[in-house]
């Protein structure tokens, strides 16, 4: 039987990969599902309320600013949805929904579109939104609730009217492990830090779940493992030196690793391929810089937490790191 061969003529590129932008966004969102589920277990309905508000703010800004150019039609590629989810998981449980919506708007407008849109931004958009909320509403964003098994009721001022602080729905608040260590020199048990039975932002308390999510992302080759490993290594080394010097005054390396937003930032924020270096050597420099800055800000700064500022500062240095660590092209100096 005679077979007829078919010849297809096309232009480059000839190699294709399944790792498109929507596919990558979906994988990261899948990894965030157990983190969000753990947050719901600890903080209940507030997780859903704040996630809906932050995602709505991001999607609205994306719809408003995306132009008619097909390249800018990123409303449904998952990037805005991911930014909103990440922003929500960095907020305290009792945070007002209208502030979360406003943070989502700023994350997309200032963190993404002012630089030219998807793939052009210098800073992580979710952290830009979080930094705005930190500056605009310092009291609301530093008021923490304790995990108490209330799954179907709002917390704090979740339901406050826009531009009003509102009356708190509960009066139960607690210091975070980092605040207790910094201001009272009281360390939290490691088991509580790893499992999430502490006060903190919605998605940062359960370190074990975040680590497993990071393993999944590394297995799917969504991010390069050099960045989270270098962040954790630098944090452990520097905080370990300080802990040896004075174990009463300074927290242990494991306390530094599993408290606050270090795990969430190392796995989901610092690994953003747009705002992190492209070379392996640059990734080690980038991650080490974040780890060192986190320890310095937490111990010697005025705030108990410093992950957000550390990542944003190293985002700003990323173009310089890329320029210094770029590979020499054969035949050039």
pLDDT of residue 12: 66
* Nearest alpha-carbon partner for 92 in 158, 187, 32: 158
Distance CA 44, CA 59 (A): 24
Evaluate if residue 143 carries a pLDDT over 70: yes
pLDDT of residue 293: 96
Query: Where residue 302 falls among pLDDT bands split at 50, 70, 90?
Result: confident
pLDDT of residue 106: 96
| Cα-to-chain-centroid distance, residue 157 | 23
pLDDT of residue 204: 87
Question: Tokens 């410093």 label which residue?
Answer: 306
pLDDT of residue 6: 66
C-beta of residue 258 within 8 angstroms of C-beta of residue 194:
yes
Question: What does the pLDDT look like over 149-170, one tens digit per residue?
Answer: 788 888 888 888 887 766 776 6
What mean pLDDT, rounded, does the chain reach? 88
Q: Which segment of 8-12, 69-73, 159-163, 225-229 scores lowest on mean pLDDT?
A: 69-73
pLDDT of residue 16: 64
pLDDT of residue 71: 55
pLDDT of residue 151: 84
Q: pLDDT exceeding 90 applies to what percent of the chain?
A: 58
What is the helix (H) or strand (E) element at residue 42, kind and residue range?
helix 21-43
| Cα-to-chain-centroid distance, residue 159 | 24
Distance CA 69, CA 53 (A): 27
* Nearest alpha-carbon partner for 204 in 62, 48, 316, 43: 43
User: What pTM, to 2 d.p., does this model score?
Assistant: 0.89
Evaluate if residue 3 carries a pLDDT over 60: no
pLDDT of residue 244: 95
Question: What does the pLDDT look like over 15-47, one tens digit per residue?
Answer: 666 678 889 999 999 999 999 999 999 999 999
pLDDT of residue 160: 85
DSSP structural state of residue 13: P
DSSP structural state of residue 176: -
CA angle (217, 62, 305) in 5-degree steps: 55
Q: Which segment of 22-31, 177-186, 244-253 scores lowest on mean pLDDT?
A: 177-186
Q: What secondary structure does DSSP assign to 59-126, as a single string? A: HHHHHHH--SSGGG--TTSSHHHHHHHHHHHTS-TT--HHHHHHHHHHHHHTTTGGGTSTTT-SS-HH
In angstroms, the Cα distances linking 216 to 86, 192, 194 are 17, 23, 18
Query: Where residue 111 falls among pLDDT bands split at 50, 70, 90?
Result: very high
Question: What does the pLDDT look like over 91-105, one tens digit per residue?
Answer: 999 999 999 999 999
Question: Per-residue pLDDT averaged across 136-153, rounded?
Answer: 86
C-beta of residue 39 within 8 angstroms of C-beta of residue 155:
no
Angle (deg, nearest 10), helices 79-89 and 97-109: 130
């Amino acid at each position: 039987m005679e077979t007829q061969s078919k010849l297809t003529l096309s232009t480059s590129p000839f190699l294709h990969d399944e790792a498109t932008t929507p596919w990558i966004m979906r994988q990261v969102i899948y990894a965030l599902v157990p983190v969000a589920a753990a947050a719901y277990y600890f903080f209940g309905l507030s997780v859903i309320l704040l996630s809906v508000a932050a995602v709505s703010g991001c999607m609205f800004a994306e719809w408003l600013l995306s132009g008619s150019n097909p390249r800018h039609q990123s409303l449904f590629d998952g990037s805005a949805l991911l930014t909103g989810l990440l922003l929500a998981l960095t907020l305290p449980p009792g945070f007002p929904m209208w502030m979360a919506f406003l943070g989502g708007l700023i994350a997309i407008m200032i963190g993404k579109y002012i630089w030219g849109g998807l793939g052009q931004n210098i800073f992580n958009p979710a952290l830009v939104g979080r930094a705005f909320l930190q500056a605009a509403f310092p009291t609301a964003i530093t008021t923490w609730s304790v995990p108490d098994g209330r799954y179907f009721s709002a917390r704090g001022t979740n339901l406050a009217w826009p531009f009003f602080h509102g009356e708190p729905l509960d009066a139960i608040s607690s210091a975070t492990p980092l605040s207790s260590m910094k201001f009272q020199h009281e360390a939290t048990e490691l088991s509580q830090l790893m499992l999430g039975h502490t006060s903190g932002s919605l998605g940062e308390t359960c370190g074990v779940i975040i680590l497993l999510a990071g393993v999944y992302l590394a297995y799917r080759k969504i991010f390069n493992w050099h960045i989270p490993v270098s962040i954790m290594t630098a944090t452990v080394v520097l905080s370990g030196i300080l802990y040896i010097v004075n174990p009463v005054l300074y927290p242990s390396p494991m306390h530094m690793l599993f408290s606050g937003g270090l795990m969430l930032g190392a796995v989901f924020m610092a690994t953003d391929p747009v705002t992190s270096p492209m070379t392996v050597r640059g990734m080690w420099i980038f991650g080490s810089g974040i780890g060192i800055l986190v320890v310095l800000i937490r111990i010697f700064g005025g705030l108990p937490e410093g992950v957000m500022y550390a990542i944003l500062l190293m985002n700003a240095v990323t173009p310089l790191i890329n320029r210094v660590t770029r590979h020499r092209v054969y035949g050039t100096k």
